[in-house]
Structure 1
Amino acid sequence: MFTLFSLPAFSADKLGSLEGIITDENGKLLQGIAVTLQPDHKKALSDSKGRFKITGLYGGTYKLTVSAVGFDAQTKEIEIEMGKMSTIFIRLKPGNKELNEINVTGIHSNPDNFIDMTRTAMPSKVITRQEIEMMGSRRLDEVLKEQTGLAIVNDIGSGNRAVGLQMQGFDSGYTMIMIDGQPMVGRNNGNFDLSRITVSNIERIEIIKGASSCLFGSEALAGVVNIVTRKNISHPQGLAALRYGSFNMVDATLEGETPFAGKRGSAYLSGNYYRTDGFNSNPYLSDGKTAPPFNSYAFQGRGRYLLSDISTLSFNGRFVTRHSENKIAYQNLNPSMDVLDEYDLNGSLALNDNFRNGLKLKSQYYLTRYQNEQNVTDLESGFIMPGSDFKQYLHRAEMQVSKNMGPLLELTGGAGGAYELLDNTSYRGNKSMANYFLYGQFDFQAAERLSFTGGARFDYHDKYDSKLNPSLGMRYNALKNLTFRAAVGTGFKTPNFQQLYMIFTNVQTGYSVFGAEEFWREIQILQEAGQIMSVFPSAKRIGSLKPERSVSYSGGFAYKPFGALDVDVNVFYNDMKNFINSEQVAFKTSGQQIYSYMNIAKAYTAGAEIGVNYKASKSIHLSAGYQLLYAVDKGVVDSIKNGTGLYEQVYDTDANETRRSKRSDYLGMNNRSRHMANVKISYAHEPSGLTGSFRVNYRSKYGFMEDNRANNFLDPWDKFVKSFFLLNLAVQKTLYNKHLQLQITADNLMNYRDQLMPGQQGRAILCGISWRFFKNE
């Protein structure tokens, strides 16, 4: 890789170039200012002398955009001549001093990760801080559930706190959640509870849809969500905010930032307190909540210091606690108390070197620790039933390197290793895994209108040997307002600790779950104790689990028929092999079930996504999105077509008979909606300081569980969650030169609830007030 970086650059003698100097109003040279040229997506950052240079430009007219926190953004038209150097002098004026940073599409200057999430082979999306604030959202799940192609789902069988993110039909265990480019840990049966993450210090959210293991490793089989926290500090400023509303929700934030040592260094600190009484969506629950009450404290800190003109040292730390107590009482059952404590720690130390020849190097160590303690107490007998109790550690060291190899080629690469340790009372002793990786990505401008983005990652896992995952994407500007794109990428996911080693028995209900590596030993112990009634023939397939593999294909286009309208269309097909499924494989003499894991199925998800954005006026912006999804287990389809196996028969409730299954009887995988849509109207009137948004989200019906004679697949006579709409509203008003902001938020205006959706809250009205501290110019 380093040999590649030393190759001579492509000749650009016949192409044009642009150089410039950026200063403030007083003539002070400004460093780290983002510059972009459209439509070629060329980008640059000013150096310590305020200079920037962009080479390899074809003759013509370009739009130059310059932006920085604390200054008004500038946009100019630049004329480039072939074979000539154009020069420009830019003087930035002081502007908006709010904590949210201006976002410029195509600019990537994130020191935490050199990989540009917006230019990977797979489709991507960026949610800006301004969008988050206009939604009035408080937790990460509230933001993501309103995005096209994403759904927040409940796994009731894993407990009332098991919620996760579904992307393009993949279960939540297949989407990697990252913070500042590093993976987060702490899942319940594969689900990462996004409600434990506050949005108070989020600068933007980057989303990649499709297999991304080529760059990010296991768990990125469905895609990636990267949370980018606050950085790029240029002025002392602060924020105090408080929101209160329905369900006794309190959301309080205090944050501040300042440069120091003549702006060679910067520091940012934030604290957030959040509490809720929870809510109940189940009429049969006489006491307690389906979404439990909790309180949470979150602390975030960042520090950066310029060691020299080329070297920067940075630190990032985050610590979150959450405590929950939920009394539960169902009819004819003893009341119980469910207590949960969580502790989440993330920290990193990084050294960034930006050499004068354009080479960028980053060395980073990252540590995350997640602890979960949960138990359930029978309030009548006082008996404590054990729940989850584990500590999970991830140590990760990584080095990244990036360099422009001339006007046509940019290379990014990295190498490192990760060590994961789990100490869990449900497993026998500590368990650990180690992974070593090497990856690279290139952006190549093959012709004036044609560019390629590709990458590959090599992983060596101490339990699953080595895996190579490549990807390739193409972008073609057919017309000035029409761009076609296509991509193919591979992904993999190694079995997790639970699927391998879990030994768990639910004391309250009696069922057991055994990991594949522990299954036969545990079965033998129960057989010798006379506790096994029968072991199913399918249990013979339980053994050493294989990693799951997927190939993702996507293609689409972006069309701008006129200046105010953008249309984006994407179709996708995700093919999965060695799918790990949990199945009942034995009965106890008490009649309770025993479950384990096996590689049994091939599956695919396919569909299309459409996004439309229309700027109706300077203040009004309309957007809409739609997803069509098919999620199919190939094993079910093959069994039905062949008339053999587990799925050859179906019980037809209408005819009151059992008959041979037909392909039309199979409706796909559970918990996936065929249709999802959203509409958003945003209003922002700068002179009056009034902003707001009205959003409508739709989800069509989806399968929940077997509701007639079990045939192991979703048919028309099973139980479904009905289709529904959610309406949300948020309005903000800024006063006193943007120091004061008042806000009112109304979520789920129609008060929609369903007992099969325990995580869906009823109507929630909140009022908020915030004060920004900054010096008026």
Structure 2
Amino acid sequence: MKYFYSLFAMLTLTIHTVYSQTPAGRLSGTVTDEKGNAVAGVAVTIIQTGQGTATGDRGEFVINKVIAGNYHVRVSGVGFKPLVVKTSVKQAQQVTLAISVEADVNALQEVSINTKPYNPDNLIDFQRTPMPVTVITRKQIDQMGSRRLDEVLKEQTGLAIVSDIGAGPRAVGLQMQGFDSGYTMILIDGQPMTGRNSGNFDLSRITVANIERIEIIKGASSCLFGSEAMAGAVNIVTRQRISQSQGMASVRYGSFNVVDANLEGETPFAGGRGSGYIGANYYRTDGFNANPYLTEGKTVYPYSSFTLQGRGRYSLSETNSLNFTGRFASRESVNDKSFGTTPQRDALSEDDLNASAVLNSNLKSGLRLKTQYYITRYSNRQNNTDLTSTQILTANNFTQYLHRGEVQVSRSWHNAFTLTGGAGTQYETMDNTLYGGSRNQQNSFAYSQGDWRLTDRTSVVGGLRFEHHNRYGSSLTPSLGIDHKIGSTLTLKAAVASGFKTPDFRQLYMVFTNFAGGGYTVLGNEVLAQELQRLQDNGEISSVSPNVQRAGPLKAERSISYSAGFNYTPLKALNFQVNGFYNDVNNFINYDLVASKTNGQQVYSYFNIKKVTLKGVEVSGNFNAFRGLTISAGYQLLYARDQGVIDSIKAGEGLYATVHNPETATDRRSTTADYFGLNNRSRHMANVRLVYEYEPKGVTGTFRVNYRGKYGFMEANRNNGFLDPYDTYVPGYFLLNASVQKSLMQKHLSVQVIVDNIMNYRHEYMPANSGRTVLLGINYRFF
């Protein structure tokens, strides 16, 4: 907490400091239709800054505190075609626009006044890609009372929070459309984050305090983001729009001694030419034990973390502006645990840094240019010690750097076609004791995406990316999507995209032994032969699996992703979407058994699976039942199967030919119906969310139900290479969450009660799921 005393003083000083008085400009005007009649209630938004308003009864609008620069002004409203107007504003100048909009008979019945804001860190419109996109707003995050990123994402349709083998309880990863977390790219303001020490990207290490919105792209997105985006991408957009001096302080406290404290402050300066934001988050928890067989310690490890985030912007001229962003996070965790009679201490210390510098240029011709340098560094130090002998069982020092330089350009023509392109290079290094020292890789890339409005009813989005990897050569990944409106209530959508993923450092070089419980060893593909021979020479191997014979060099994975569905709005208050997806993956990388140790532990390594299909359908809908009450629901059906297993079962080959029934101690011929699919994937997932807002009293309440169907955990009887009905499964379960918030003092003060996992559901095979958590939160905004 010592960070907070100095930070609070700094924020208070920042917010109340008087800055230089360089005068800002003003943008005003009127909006009329084709006949010259005033149009009320349409949104007028400056794309570059996000400043905006709605027109009054006479079609008039005023936007104050506009700094000098070249801008694109977007006008959109119910029944009218969207329009973008270019204009320039000079210091202390009042610019008046006369805007005429054209009627759109095919327009949907509802439009949001809060139009999509321009992102100064990335010219790509993440909400306009071929694949389906979900956006989680700041308001939704606040209503849920979530503290960490994993808590937000686990309540979204089609997303599951999982832990992979070798990841450990601190690695809470995201599964999307049946892909493990290593296939979903996590970005912050459009730039990739690092720190996949054991495969999963640990979402619990990210606070949501500074998040303005979260953009989720479902489906192959390698066309835009390259490797690691085969399943999709999650883009974290941090606080950006700053128009006045204000600050916020909040704290939540509750079960397991959870403390979530935040301080934020922001202000414009130099007459609006510049702006600055700084925020800090402190979070701690005593952890939680979900395993009744664990006599000491926690399955959700105790930890404390501190995050400091900042953003600065300054307008150099009417054309150019500089943006700086920075984020530093640290986490400390110590867990004393006992498996049987062996007490151990697991200690972790980690640091995470992200920083970027961006030069944005908005030319009078309408061309937008972005030049950016980005650096991220992640490191951790972890020791697992036997408390009886004080022997260090495992020790790992891990440091990863990524340097990335990129140039983007974007241009729109006649409100009908927008072309965005970019090129760059990135260099990545990793120093990890589990991977045998320092490793590095480099790749260069170039990409483009076009958004073309063919007619009033039909639009097309297409893209192409070329990437060259210093180890796996070149790849070309195209994508294409189309939207077509049928009347005013139905929109059909379809897309196809290709994806690729190069093997990561873990899959190539890892040498890791987990001493907890029964324990296991994971060996990277590149070091398998060497390390397996070492274990045999030491007399530690009792048997070697036939799988070793197919352990050739790992190949890059490639996929084709298909998506098709529709949006249907039969009533103004009712909307729902249906989307089917099919992912055809070649050279899919999965882990499998390679040997057994004399102490009973298993040894695993990584292999290419020739062909895997991940297919399913998502259904979601929203219903405004009555004023203030919104009901939303979602469902995903998923089939995730290894085609090679299916073919082997049909052919009756090897281990796949039989299934062992432990109840009768007999074997029988296996069928494809016996094959459940890849482990850790649920066939059925669903959620329901009720949100009620009573504006006159400033009261908001939410009640959310999340269901995850049963999924395979591991083979439990005779090993036959696939999940059959007699193996071990995690049963289906429901999680119930609720929150109530009350605003006071003209919305300066708010109090909130949060209850997660109301029914206190827990299971030994779900180590990362905490029991019932009750929190009380207080938030104060001063401005």
Shared topology, TM-score over 0.5?
A: yes
Matched residues in 2 for 1:725 and 1:523: separation? 42
| Distance in 2 separating the partners of 1:61 and 1:487 | 22
Aligned to 1:195, what secondary structure does the other structure show?
helix
**Quick one: which amino acid aligns to residue 594 of structure 1?**
V
Aligned mates of 2:705, 2:85 — CA distance in 1: 38
Structure 1 residues 188 and 333: alpha-carbon distance in aligned structure 2, compared to 1, 3 A threshold: farther
Aligned: 1:455 with 2:463: yes
Please tell me whether residue 503 in structure 1 is matched to residue 511 in structure 2: yes
1:516 aligns with one of 525, 544, 563: 525
The answer for the alignment partner of 2:76 in structure 1 is 36
Please name the residue that 2:719 is paired with.
710
CA distance in 1, matches of 2:98, 2:675: 59
Q: Deviations over 1:218-263 (max 9, x none)?
A: 0000000000000110000000001100010000000000000000
Return closer, same or farther for 1:44/1:541 CA change in 2, 3 Å cut-off: farther
SS of 1:130's partner is helix
Aligned position for 1:574: 583
2:702 corresponds to: 693
Name the structure 2 match of 1:79.
none
**What fraction of aligned residue pairs are identical, expressed as a percent?**
56
Which of the numbers 469, 472, 484 marks the counterpart of 2:477? 469
**1:86-235 alignment runs, 5 A limit:** 103-104=114-115, 107-155=116-164, 157-235=166-244
Change (3 A) 1:52 1:615: farther
Q: Where in structure 2 are the equivalents of 1:25-424 lying within 5 Å?
A: 28=64, 30=66, 35-37=75-77, 40=81, 42=83, 47-48=88-89, 103-104=114-115, 107-155=116-164, 157-330=166-339, 332-424=340-432
- Aligned to 2:717, the other structure's residue is in SS state coil
Shift in alpha-carbon separation, 1:171–1:565, aligned structure 2, 3 A = same
In structure 2, how many angstroms separate the alpha carbons of the residues matched to 1:379 and 1:702?
A: 35
**1:559 maps to 2:559:** no
1:769 counterpart = 2:772: no
Tell me if structure 1 keeps the 8 A contact 2:591–2:607. Answer: yes
Q: Deviations over 1:142-166 (max 9, x none)?
A: 0000000001112365322232101
Decide whether the 8 Å contact of 2:74 with 2:83 is kept in 1.
Answer: no
Q: Does 1:435 align with 2:475?
A: no
**1:698 aligned counterpart, secondary structure:** strand
Q: Counterpart of 2:433?
A: 425
Contact 2:167 2:199 in 1 (8 A): no
Structure 1 residue identity aligned to 2:326: G
Range with greater deviation from structure 2 (677-686 or 458-467): 677-686
Structure 2 CA distance for partners of 1:531 and 1:696, relative to 1, 3 Å: closer
Distance 1:357 1:66, change over 3 A: farther
Q: What CA distance in whole angstroms lies between the structure 1 residues aligned with 2:725 and 2:97?
A: 62
Q: Which residue of 2 aligns with 1:99?
A: none
* Distance (Å, rounded) in 2 between the aligned partners of 1:337 and 1:27: 59
Name the aligned partner's letter for residue 36 of structure 1: S
Residue in structure 2 matched with residue 488 of structure 1 by the alignment = 496
State the one-letter code of the partner of 2:428. E
The answer on whether the counterparts of 1:311 and 1:353 sit within 8 Å (CA) in structure 2 is yes
Question: Distance between the aligned counterparts of 1:587 and 1:761, measured in 2?
Answer: 33
AA matched with 1:367: I
Separation in structure 2 between the aligned mates of residue 205 and residue 585 of structure 1, nearest angstrom: 40
SS of aligned partner of 1:586: strand
Report the equivalent of 1:735. 744
Which range is displaced more, 345-354 or 536-545? Answer: 536-545
Matches within 5 A, 1:574-593: 574-588=583-597, 592-593=601-602
- RMSD, aligned α-carbons: 2.6
1:285 and 1:301, CA in 2 relative to 1: closer, same or farther beyond 3 A?
same
Structure 1 residues 646-692: Cα deviation after superposition (integer angstroms, max 9, x where no partner): 31111123543112211111111111111111111111122211112
Aligned to 2:612: 603
Q: CA deviation at 1:600?
A: 2.7
In the TM superposition, residue 407 of structure 1 has moved relative to its aligned partner by 3.1
Partner SS for 2:656: coil
| Kept after mapping to 2: 8 A contact 1:35/1:64 | no
Query: Given the superposition, is the C-alpha separation of residues 706 and 444 from structure 1 closer, same or farther in structure 2, using an over 3 Å criterion?
Result: same
Partners of 1:636 and 1:424 lie apart in 2 by 34
The answer to whether the 8 A contact 2:167-2:200 is kept is: no
1:335 partner amino acid = P
Q: 1:407, 1:618 → 2: CA distance?
A: 35
| SS of alignment partner, residue 285 of structure 1 | coil
Letter in 2 for 1:446: L
Q: Is the 8 A contact 2:187 2:236 kept in 1?
A: yes
**After alignment, is 395-404 or 582-591 more displaced?**
582-591
Report the counterpart of residue 12 of structure 1 in structure 2: none
The reply on whether 1:677 has 2:686 as its aligned counterpart is yes
Conserved? CA contact 2:567–2:575, under 8 Å = yes
Match of 1:666 in 2: 675
Which residue identity does 2:295 align to in structure 1? S
Query: Deviations 1:122-179 (Å, cap 9, x if unpaired)?
Result: 0001000000000010100000000000011123653222321011111111100000
Residues 44, 74 of structure 2: 8 Å contact kept: no
Specify whether residues 416 and 157 from structure 1 end up closer, same or farther in structure 2 by C-alpha distance, changes over 3 A only.
closer
Secondary structure of 2:530's counterpart equals helix
Could you tell me how far apart the structure 1 residues matched to 2:100 and 2:398 are?
54
Structure 1 residues 595 and 207: CA distance shift in structure 2, 3 A: same
**Secondary structure at the residue paired with 1:638?**
helix
SS at match of 2:169: coil
Write the distance in 1 (CA, Å) between the matches of 2:581 and 2:44.
Answer: 42
Aligned pair count? 723
Q: How far off is 1:41 after superposition? A: 5.4
Correspondence 1:539 to 2:548: yes
Q: Which runs of 5+ in 1 are unaligned?
A: 1-14, 68-72, 74-102
| Separation (CA, whole Å) in 1 of partners of 2:468 and 2:101 | 38
- Please say which of residues 234-243 and 405-414 is displaced more in the overlay: 405-414
Moved more, 417-426 or 668-677: 668-677
SS in 1 for 2:178: coil
Q: Give the Cα–Cα distance (whole angstroms) in 1 for the partners of residues 100 and 610 of structure 2.
A: 51
Separation in structure 1 between the aligned mates of residue 334 and residue 228 of structure 2, nearest angstrom: 31
1:684-703 deviation digits (Å, cap 9, x = unpaired): 12221111211111111111
Q: Are 1:730 and 1:744, in contact at CA under 8 Å, matched by a contact in 2?
A: yes
Aligned counterpart, 2:4: none
Please give the per-residue CA displacement for 1:460-504, whole angstroms capped at 9, x wherever unaligned. Answer: 000000000000000001111110000001101100011112233
- The amino acid that maps onto 1:402 is S
Structure 2 gaps, min length 5: 1-33, 47-51, 54-60
- CA contact under 8 A between 2:753 and 2:776: conserved in structure 1? yes
Alpha-carbon displacement from aligned partner over 1:495-514 (angstroms, at most 9, x marks no partner): 00111122334466674433
Report if aligned partners of 2:81, 2:101 keep a CA contact under 8 Å in 1.
no
Q: Which moved more, 1:558-567 or 1:591-600?
A: 591-600
| Paired amino acid for 1:701 | K
SS in 1 for 2:508: helix
> What CA distance in whole angstroms lies between the structure 1 residues aligned with 2:369 and 2:101?
23
